[in-house]
Amino acid sequence: MIVPALVAKPCGLATAGLNFVAPLFDLALRLYVAWVFFRSGLVKIQSWDATLYLFENEYAVPFLLPELAAYLAVLAELTFPPLLALGLGTRFFALALFAFNAVAVMSYPELSPAGLKDHLLWGALLLVTLFHGPGRLSLDAWLCKPAGK
């Protein structure tokens, strides 16, 4: 019985340490993904003519006119990431950005292998947030906390 006791204490300490830093990890994850998408939106609005050209000639967004797709993409990239970063409506915006990311991959047939890896990483990080939630350092956690706590 000494061996389980020797293992239990370090495991308990490790778990407590990880639980302590987990909210910082959740926040860092949200901030990173939010920055990636927000920066993409900023690039699109810096040269609107180039953005329209890409949506008309490079991207094959299904079911949408190219100009409408460009406006919707910029709207999504400039509004969803700040809300994700703040942790407000986090799961909804993680799902919305995951779908946006998937459409981006499907709409650009010339995506390089490195670009595909980036999109897969961003999609995986968004799924972590979707399935595990925003963590304690979020507006969702603050707004949804039970009364009296």
Contact 30, 87 (CB under 8 A): yes
The stretch 110-123 carries a mean pLDDT of: 97
pTM of the entire predicted model = 0.89
Half-sphere exposure (Cβ direction) of 106: Cα atoms closer than 13 Å: 9
Cβ-Cβ contacts under 8 Å for 38 (sequence gap 6 or more): 77, 78, 81, 82
pLDDT, the chain, mean? 93
Tell me the average pLDDT across 109-135: 96
Position 118 confidence tier, pLDDT thresholds 50, 70, 90: very high
Q: Return the higher-pLDDT residue of 82 and 1.
A: 82
Q: Let me know: does 70 contact 58? Beta carbons within 8 Å.
A: no
Q: What is the pLDDT of residue 147?
A: 59
Give mean pLDDT, residues 35-51: 97
Q: What is the pLDDT of residue 11?
A: 79
Cβ atoms 61, 74 nearer than 8 A = no
DSSP letters, 15-47, are HHHHHHHHHHHHHHHHHHHHHHHHHHHHHHHHT
Compute the half-sphere exposure of residue 116: CA atoms within 13 Å on the CB side of its CA: 8
Q: Quick count: other Cβ atoms within 10 Å of Cβ 129?
A: 24
Residue 136 dihedral angles phi and psi, to the nearest 5°: -70, -25
